Structure 1
Amino acid sequence: MGDDNIIVQKPLSELIADQLKKDIWSESIKFGDRLLETDLAEHFDVSRSTIREAFKILETEELIVSKARKGTYVADFTEQDLNEIIELRTLIESQAFKKAMPKLDEQQLEKLKKITEQMKIKADEHDWNGLFDLDMEFHSFVVNLCGNARIVRIYNSLQVQIRTFLMHLDQYYSSPQSFYREHEELLQTLISKDKDAVVKRVSNHIEYVEEKLLGVNDENRVNAN
């Protein structure tokens, strides 16, 4: 049997950690909620030690926090977190997209077109979670082509934080279609092979939320006065 036929099965603790991430991203579990080992062990029909291993994974990814003598909680995602993720994504992705452009051949552009087409379907269905998953797929696909292993490694280590950041974006876009259209425009810019235009488009795409966030904050300050 060839290596291609080997199915790699994740450890049970990783599968549970993955499910808990999805529950947080879908808001079935809220920020700040307490996670009880006993309840989760019963829910998933596993040992408490398996749940503890899943907690360690999520804690490493900064999705949960353990508080001494208080228990384990889903981490809050603050305005500061939003700003830091925006800054990191802008720095990493603008450089990575520029470096990836010469490596984007017809087959790879076709892959991005298919992702974008799927985004349109999800936008029409008003499925924000589906859109955000496809956003991750789109951006990760390009970053992984950049040819800089360290950039790829750092970006991959931020995947959970970025995906958690994305679940906040629906409040900043007028509709799912506007979010999809940004990716369609980004795809067309990648097809153009214009590096300067790509850097500008990537930065605008990511920093759009920062502008909206600052606008909301300014409005709140005015109203408070």
Structure 2
Amino acid sequence: MVRTAVSRKTLREQVAEILRRKILNGEIKPGERIIEADVAKAFQTSRGPVREALRQIEEEGLVTYESHKGCIVKTMSYEDMQEAYLIRSTLESLAAKMCSGNLTPELEQQMEKNLEELGKAAEERDLYKVVELDEEFHSYVAKASQSERLYKVWKSLESGNTAAYYTMETESLVPFEVIKMNHQRILDAFRTTSVEQICGEIERHYMIVPETLFQQMQKKKEKSEM
């Protein structure tokens, strides 16, 4: 690992962010072991903040602890991804129903601003920023429900979305060219269509990634069998 000095102001958060970025960018791959002592040495800090950072990204679902192995970058299967996205899309559809398909002016403005930033990040192929903005956009959909309980349940599934981007080499499958448009369709649905159509748009949006991954897995399987 390259030696990296970090500020002690918010050390745990900074270490967690660096590790998260390395996982997302593929520098640390699914199934790879993260050694606490090596991370502490690389970041020129004690093991305490590193341990806390690892615990944080474990709660996010990016890593898991395995017996006799320690901290391992989690591999998300197609089935895991499909399940996580089905639950998230169901919750966001429920949010649309709870607000009767009506966004507050503030939320609509925030979503519009988010889409502009998402478009720029996609043009620059900044995957880390794309993931952050993708999560932010969908948080506005959940918040439209004006239900703190629904939002908390939705937020607890955040790791599934992040993991979907890095696991099984899906970065090559990220549709940078159309990712802004795919999200714009949801906002446009809130503006112009019925609640039923909004829910349908949300569901279609969430099924794109699992379906693309499944097709890619099938191609790899066919090649290996040739």
DSSP 3-state at the match of 1:177? coil
- Post-superposition Cα deviations, 1:138-166, rounded to whole Å, max 9, x if no partner, equal 10122123122221111111112222213
The 5-angstrom pairing of residues 25-64 of structure 1 reads: 25-64=24-63
2:23–2:166: 8 Å Cα contact kept in structure 1? Answer: no
CA RMSD of superposed structures (Å): 2.6
Please state if 1:91 is matched with 2:90: yes
Q: Which runs of 5+ in 2 are unaligned?
A: 1-7
The corresponding residue for 1:138 is 137
Deviation at 1:205, TM superposition (A): 0.6
Q: Report the Cα offset of residue 69 of structure 1.
A: 2.8
Report the Cα offset of residue 93 of structure 1: 1.6
Give the 3-state SS of the residue equivalent to 2:177 in structure 1: helix
SS at match of 1:151: helix
Which digits, 9 at most, give the CA deviation of each residue in 1:45-99, with x for residues without a partner?
2211322222222333332222333332211222222122222122212212332
Structure 2 residue aligned with 1:207: 207
- Name the CA distance, whole Å, in 2 between partners of 1:52 and 1:10: 17
Greater relative CO, 1 or 2 (CA 8 Å, sep 6+): 2
Task: Tell me the residue number matched to 1:77.
Answer: 76
Comparing 184-193 with 54-63, greater Cα deviation is found at: 54-63
Task: Name the structure 2 match of 1:189.
Answer: 189
Task: List gaps (5 residues or longer) in structure 1.
Answer: 1-8
Range moving further from structure 2, 23-32 or 208-217: 208-217
| Contact 2:104–2:144 (8 Å) recurs in 1 | no
**2:67 and 2:109 mapped to 1: Cα distance?**
50
CA shift, 1:127, in A, is 2.7
Whole-Å separation in 1 of the counterparts to 2:150 and 2:54:
27
Distance 1:220 1:20, change over 3 A: closer
Structure 2 CA distance for aligned equivalents of residues 22 and 128 of structure 1:
9
SS of 2:89's equivalent in the other structure is helix
Preserved contact between residue 170 and residue 176 of structure 1 (Cα < 8 Å): no
1:6 matched residue in structure 2: none
2:148 partner amino acid: A
Q: What amino acid is the match of 1:149?
A: E
Question: Which range moved further: 47-56 or 135-144?
Answer: 47-56
TM-score, normalised to structure 1's length? 0.82
| 8 Å Cα contact 2:65/2:71 also seen in 1 | yes
